[in-house]
Amino acid sequence: MYTYEHNTVVESNIETTFDWFEHEGSFRRLMPPWEVAEEVRADETLEVGSQRIFRFPMGPIKMTWVAEHTAYDPPNHFADKMVKGPFWRWHHDHNLSEENGVTTVTDEVSYQVPFGPLGNLADRILGGALVRSRITRMFKARELRLQRDLQQHGKFANQARKRVLIAGSSGCIGTQLVAFLDTGGHEVWRLVRRPAKVGAQELEWYPDKGELDASILEGFDVIIHLGGVGIGDKRWNKRRKQMIRDSRVNSTKLLADAISTLENKPECMMLASAVGWYGDRGDEQLTEDSTPGEGFLPNICREWEDAASTVEESGVRTVFLRTGIVLTATAGALGKMLFPFKMGAGGPIGNGKQWMSWISLDDEIYAINHLMMNNDSKGVYNLSAPNPIEQKKFAKTLGRVLRRPAFAPLPRFVVKILFGEMGEKLTLESQRVLPTRLASEGYQFIHEDLEMGLRDTLGLWR
């Protein structure tokens, strides 16, 4: 049997801290950002007998982890045990204590590795390092998320909580946004493209068929649309490009037109967009006042944003989120880069001089929260870190974080052969985007430095 203890200190009182844990979204927020985990079920309580279930890949199979709560003494203590999962035994106590308004969360874990005596022998041979290293990384990630989330929620603690509807809630941004807003006490609903689950906070629509009952939108303070077919998931052909365009433009227009007809309109609509709006601009520094670019992606982004015009004209505060490359280890551009870089095959793409405008996943979530809660925020915002970087320097930094070489070039013609137009547009075009308006409103980025952002995302701190 092994034991592990970790202390997290947060600048928040014990009641607020315990309340954060009591929300369903805390489970998702505490999941290490590099883990590919699918949440199956999370009971809306920490009380004894409640369960949280998720699946994660372990080699070629998916492993199920079932955690059942065994103790509940708010706001001082709760505990859970693994009733099914990869360990032979796992028991986790969460102890909270407060002094002068500062709370210490002490995590105490007792565990036994798999395969009984054989597992214990193998772990002793390795000095207990393998499992303990993973646990240490996990709790470091939990510590940072808890501290940052409570700090961000605290900035708007004196404002009323919102009733929020999110379309595109199943993507990597939407999943984390739902969880974060939930831990902040907001009432979060999902707008889904399938029959709504009974008992879940879900509403349904079918934008591909042009079907949306406007009446279901009544009573929401904020409506956020993040949906759309993946841009970098498949090679582009005529049909795929039409799907990329229609999934964004048509759904936005359907939603915007419905909102504009409401008697009680939301106070705010937020719409995902992308830095692709600016097109291929070389070394030019791009702000929200820059002119649009030319080509497939800029044209889609313009149509996408224009589709929300009826909402703006109806007087609803409208926010456009022009997002850069979101750093997440489980999806998106970084997720695709990791395998070749871990194999030592990463490096410059093309000449490597193209600018990459990036943002950490947490900054993406926190910036959206800032814009949602700030009643004076409206119009276009660049959601990208204040220090964009050339692709060859991005590759060098990622290689350094992974402790791998990063000098294997990927010539332009190879990109075109392997990925076609999609690869050319997404990896070779240059956008040097600056978050001018966010900075002017006082938003402070958690990650301004790329290396720190990558280390947080991958759990590879120094």
User: What is the count of structural domains for the chain?
Assistant: 2
Residue that is last in its domain, among 154, 188, 209: 154
Do residue 315 and residue 228 come from a single domain? yes
**Span 80-94, average pLDDT:** 94
Q: Tell me: the pLDDT tens digits for 61-77? A: 788 999 999 999 999 99
* 132/234 same-domain check: no
Q: What is the mean pLDDT of the chain?
A: 93
**Among residues of the chain, what percentage have pLDDT more than 70?**
97
**Residues spanned by the domain of 62:** 2-154
pLDDT in tens, 168-210: 999 999 999 999 999 999 999 999 999 999 889 999 999 999 9
Statement to judge: residues 246 and 380 lie in one domain: yes
CATH of the domain at 128: 3.30.530.20
Which residue type does 186 have?
H
- Please report which confidence band the pLDDT of residue 125 belongs to, taking 50, 70 and 90 as the band edges: low
Q: What's the pLDDT tens digit per position in 246-290?
A: 999 999 999 999 999 999 999 999 999 999 999 999 999 999 999
Report, as an integer, the average pLDDT of 31-40.
86
Whether the model clears a pTM of 0.85, i.e. scores above it, the answer is yes
Mean pLDDT, rounded, for 411-418: 88
Q: Is 328 helix (H, G, I), strand (E, B) or coil?
A: coil
* 190 and 106 inside one domain: no
Residue for token digits 């997440």? 328
- CATH number, domain of 447, equals 3.40.50.720
- Positions of E strands within 219-267: 222-225
104 and 238 co-located in one domain: no
To the nearest 10°, the Cα dihedral for 189, 192, 194, 196?
A: 0
- Do 167 and 92 have their domain in common? no
CB pairs under 8 A, 24+ apart, for 400-403? 400/451, 401/451, 401/454, 401/455, 401/458, 401/460, 402/338, 402/341, 402/342, 402/458, 402/460
Contacts 24+ apart (CB under 8 A), 243-247: 244/300, 245/300, 245/303, 246/208, 247/207, 247/208
Of 154, 173, 200, the last residue of a domain is: 154
Of 131, 154, 177, the domain-final residue: 154
* Residues 113 and 216 placed together within one structural domain of the fold: no
Q: Are residues 327 and 437 in the same domain?
A: yes
Tell me the mean pLDDT in the region 93-99: 98
The set of residues, in sequence order, having a beta carbon less than 8 Å from that of 416 and lying 6+ positions away, is: 423, 424
Question: Within this chain, do residues 98 and 199 fall inside the same structural domain, yes or no?
Answer: no
* One domain, residues 237 and 127: no
Same domain, 222 and 276: yes
Please indicate whether residue 421 or residue 57 has the higher confidence score (pLDDT): 421
The reported pLDDT for the residue numbered 318 is 98
% of the chain exceeding 90 in pLDDT: 82
* pLDDT tens for each residue of 278-293: 999 999 999 999 999 9
Q: Are residues 129 and 264 in the same domain?
A: no
Lowest mean pLDDT among 90-104, 220-234, 369-383: 220-234
Q: How many CA atoms lie within 13 A of 77 on its CB side?
A: 7
Higher pLDDT among residues 36 and 80, named by residue: 80
Quick: pLDDT tens for 354-408. Answer: 999 999 999 999 999 999 999 999 999 999 999 999 999 999 999 999 999 999 9
pLDDT number for residue 1: 78
Instruction: Give the model's pLDDT for residue 127.
Output: 47
